[in-house]
Amino acid sequence: MSALLKSIDPNTGKEIATYEAYNEKKVESALKLAANTFEDWRKEPFTKRAALLRAIAKELRKEKDKLVKLAAKEMGKPIQQGYYEVEKCASTMEFYAKEGAKFLADQVIKTDARKSYVSFRPLGVVLAIMPWNFPFWQLFRAMAPTVMAGNTMILKHASNVSGCALAIEQVIRKAGAPKGLMQTLLIPSSVVEALIDDRRVAAVTLTGSTAAGSKVAEAAGRNLKKVVLELGGSDPYIILADADMDKAIEIAVRGRLVNTGQSCIAAKRFVVVKSVRKEFERRFTEQMKLATWGDPMDEKNKIGPMARHDLRDQLHVQVQQSIAKGAKLLCGGFIPDSPGAFYPPSVLTNVKKGMPAYDEELFGPVGAIIEAKDEADAMRIANDSIYGLGGGIISKNRARAEKLAAEELNAGSCFVNDFVHSDQRLPFGGVKHSGYGRELGSFGIHEFVNIKTVYIK
């Protein structure tokens, strides 16, 4: 009997739908189709690939109301943030439609040869393993450059957003994509290793936890296949003594509560220089208390439920363990008496090494305040993490902050006077336990191509 994949509404705790996992025959059929489609798609000119990407962008905007409501029901995304997510997917498709051919153009390099150049050719079928927190964006930001480069893709999405996964495939088909260009596989995680082992899968991209990334990297390494990993993060935001405090509070609250705090690049550790710690602590806590939370379909709510009850409960354990080790709770920190997977905006201070709030990723609306003696101590604390996805520096001295961001902060994305976010024009990814490889920008489109030397004497 096939496994069942369930979608649970985190706002009510009620089951939305149950999906039967694909059997071996159906998975085999999908792999065969993806491999066959690749042989035709890789030969299509850039103009045809770009036209499809634009058509997909148009279909995304056409279906946005349906998609946004689906994400709100399946993983609790506040509805206004859902609209932003779908639009970002559409604009990214258009970006690669416009820039892809330039990124992939042959690069002539003068050597002793009569002619020599670098050519970029697609690899084949790319397996995308995606999480629930941005059910559309995570897939489309990987798909846009991968398909524009001439590859095909199969998607193994998080089981709790199976409805979103099927909707993605439907959007792409409605846009006129060749059958087999992008297929959703409704399968449990236990099947992933066999997919990576399959000779028809040329490469893998995963966004998810560090634990999941480690397992996928092991399987890909055993098969000598290219893999891009975008994993967890515990992004530090460094509040220096000369910070514009109004700006610092605005950035901190927005950065911590985006997607109900369930983002790898959400602001998580607030490393505050001692001289301004009390002011930041007071004002940050005041604003966190004011953030409205509840039904994600209600536009007035900035925060919805967390995606699953077990994730909410795990976060609460991390908060309680941090308090038991000496952290001070300034607001929130309780499980509401309601059926949904809610957790209120929470603030911990006096956070120190050895506490979960310092050492681990808090994947929910909890901010951890860590006091630093001075600028040098703040940079030490910021880098004292197994993660290295993103980080921010808030300071009126932009030149000084830029130098710290560029030379001292050890992360894939370092922002000055803004919260960390992805931009299709810039590479995105991390270092250390936050993964390796890059998505987006010109770097993202070069991840899943054969960077081929052509030499003519």
Say if 161 falls within a structural domain.
Answer: yes
CA distance readout (Å), 222 to 5, 185, 365, 407, 438: 29, 23, 38, 35, 21
Helix and strand tally (H, E) in the chain? 15, 20
Say if 429 falls within a structural domain.
Answer: no
340 with 305: CB under 8 angstroms? yes
Express each pLDDT in 33-80 by its tens digit.
Answer: 999 999 999 999 999 999 999 999 999 999 999 999 999 999 999 999
Mean pLDDT, range 113-131, rounded to an integer:
98
369 forms bridges with which residues in the sheet? Answer: 270
Q: Same domain, yes or no, for 273 and 383?
A: yes
Q: Same domain, yes or no, for 183 and 113?
A: yes
Say if 327 falls within a structural domain.
Answer: yes
Say if 428 falls within a structural domain.
Answer: no
Q: Same domain, yes or no, for 88 and 9?
A: yes
Q: What are phi and psi of 117, to 5 degrees?
A: -160, 165
Q: Which of 233, 228, 269 is nearest to 252 (CA)?
A: 269
150 with 41: CB under 8 angstroms? yes
Q: What is the pLDDT of residue 362?
A: 98
Q: Is the dihedral of CA 82, 134, 363, 390 positive or negative?
A: negative
* 2 has pLDDT over 70: no
Say if 205 falls within a structural domain.
Answer: yes
Mean pLDDT, range 180-196, rounded to an integer:
97
Q: What is the pLDDT of residue 1?
A: 46
Say if 53 falls within a structural domain.
Answer: yes
Structural domain boundaries, residue 261: 235-423
* 84 has pLDDT over 50: yes
Express each pLDDT in 145-187 by its tens digit.
Answer: 999 999 999 999 999 999 999 999 999 999 999 999 999 999 9
Mean pLDDT, range 195-215, rounded to an integer:
97
Rounded distance between C-alpha atoms, residue 63 and residue 86, angstroms: 9
Mean pLDDT, range 245-266, rounded to an integer:
97
The letter for the amino acid at 133 is N
Q: Same domain, yes or no, for 227 and 242?
A: no
What CATH number has the domain bearing residue 251?
3.40.309.10
Express each pLDDT in 366-420 by its tens digit.
Answer: 999 999 999 999 999 999 999 999 999 999 999 999 999 999 999 999 999 999 9
Q: Same domain, yes or no, for 274 and 309?
A: yes
**The pTM is what?**
0.97
Show which residues are catalytic.
230, 264
* 317 has pLDDT over 70: yes
Q: Same domain, yes or no, for 321 and 362?
A: yes
Q: Same domain, yes or no, for 389 and 345?
A: yes
Q: What is the pLDDT of residue 3?
A: 82
Mean pLDDT, range 271-300, rounded to an integer:
97
253 with 246: CB under 8 angstroms? no
Q: Which of 343, 336, 349 is nearest to 315 (CA)?
A: 343
Rounded distance between C-alpha atoms, residue 397 and residue 129, angstroms: 41
pLDDT more than 90, % of the chain: 99
Q: Same domain, yes or no, for 161 and 297?
A: no
242 with 226: CB under 8 angstroms? no
Angle between helix 79-103 and helix 137-148 axes, rounded to 10 deg: 10
Express each pLDDT in 289-305 by its tens digit.
Answer: 999 999 999 999 999 99
Say if 122 falls within a structural domain.
Answer: yes
- Apex CA 118: angle with CA 117 and CA 122, to 5°? 145
3-state SS, residue 122: strand
Instruction: Return mean pLDDT, the chain.
Output: 97
Q: Which two tokens stand for residue 278?
A: 């009390």
What CATH number has the domain bearing residue 37?
3.40.605.10
Say if 171 falls within a structural domain.
Answer: yes
pLDDT more than 70, % of the chain: 100
3-state SS, residue 84: helix
How many structural domains does the chain have?
2
Q: Same domain, yes or no, for 349 and 406?
A: yes
Neighbouring CB atoms inside 10 A of 425's CB total: 11
Q: Same domain, yes or no, for 36 and 58?
A: yes
List strand residue ranges (DSSP E) for 135-273, in order: 152-157, 182-184, 201-207, 226-230, 235-239, 267-273
Q: Same domain, yes or no, for 20 and 154?
A: yes
Q: Same domain, yes or no, for 30 and 102?
A: yes
